[in-house]
Amino acid sequence: MGTTRTMEILVGAFMALGFVALFFLAMRVSNLSAAGAGDGYALIARFDNVGSLKVRAPVSMAGVRLGRVESIGFDAQTYQAVVTLRIEPAYDQIPTDTFANIYTAGLLGEQYVALDPGGSPDYLTNGDQIEHTQSALVLERMIGQFLFNQAQEGAQ
C-alpha cells in the first residue's frame, strides 16, 4: 500500500511539474499573457509600398504596442498594398484622422506600423480605413535619390 501511495504522489508531482513547465512556456516565454489573438477590432490601411512588413508585426502608438498586423493583401485596381491591423479592444479611442507609417526598428530591425494620433473627436471602429498613410522607406531608393542629387549638384 505504501509503495502505491508513493507512486501516486510521484506521478502527481510529475504531472504538476509538466503543467508548470507548460504554463511557464505559455506565460513567460511566449506572449500568451499579451496575445488575445482574434479579438479586438480590425482597421485597414492602404500603403503604396509596405517594404518588408510581415504579418504579426507590431502596431504601435507612442512606442506602445496596440495590436498586430493581421494580413497583407494587394489591391489590383489601385496597385496598393492593403494591410489589415488587428487592434486590441482596450484601445478603442483612435481618432479617424490618425496617420499610419511603416518604420524600421533600429537599422536592421524588423518593420512595424506606427500610428500617429490625429485630433478628430470621432474614433475609428471595426473595418474602418486609415486614410493617411506613409510607405516604408526603401533603403535602395533613398540611396538612389541621394546619388541622383549628388550628380545633379555636380553638374551645376
Of residues 32 and 143, the one with the C-beta less far from other proteins: 32
Site residues (vs other proteins, CB under 8 A): 4, 7-8, 10-11, 13-15, 17-22, 24-26, 28-35, 37, 56, 58
The residues, ordered by sequence, that sit 6+ positions from 44 with a Cβ below 8 Å of its Cβ are 82, 83, 84, 85, 127, 128, 129, 130
- Taking the C-alpha atoms of residue 21 and residue 96, their distance in angstroms, rounded to an integer, is 44
- Taking the C-alpha atoms of residue 140 and residue 92, their distance in angstroms, rounded to an integer, is 37
Q: How far is the CB of 20 from other proteins (least distance, A)?
A: 8
Of residues 108 and 155, the one with the C-beta less far from other proteins: 108
Q: How far is the CB of 132 from other proteins (least distance, A)?
A: 27
Of residues 34 and 90, the one with the C-beta less far from other proteins: 34
Q: How far is the CB of 13 from other proteins (least distance, A)?
A: 8
* Whole-number Cα distances in Å, 131 to 65, 83, 88, 94, 100: 21, 12, 20, 13, 8
- Taking the C-alpha atoms of residue 5 and residue 10, their distance in angstroms, rounded to an integer, is 9
Of residues 34 and 62, the one with the C-beta less far from other proteins: 34
Q: How far is the CB of 130 from other proteins (least distance, A)?
A: 23
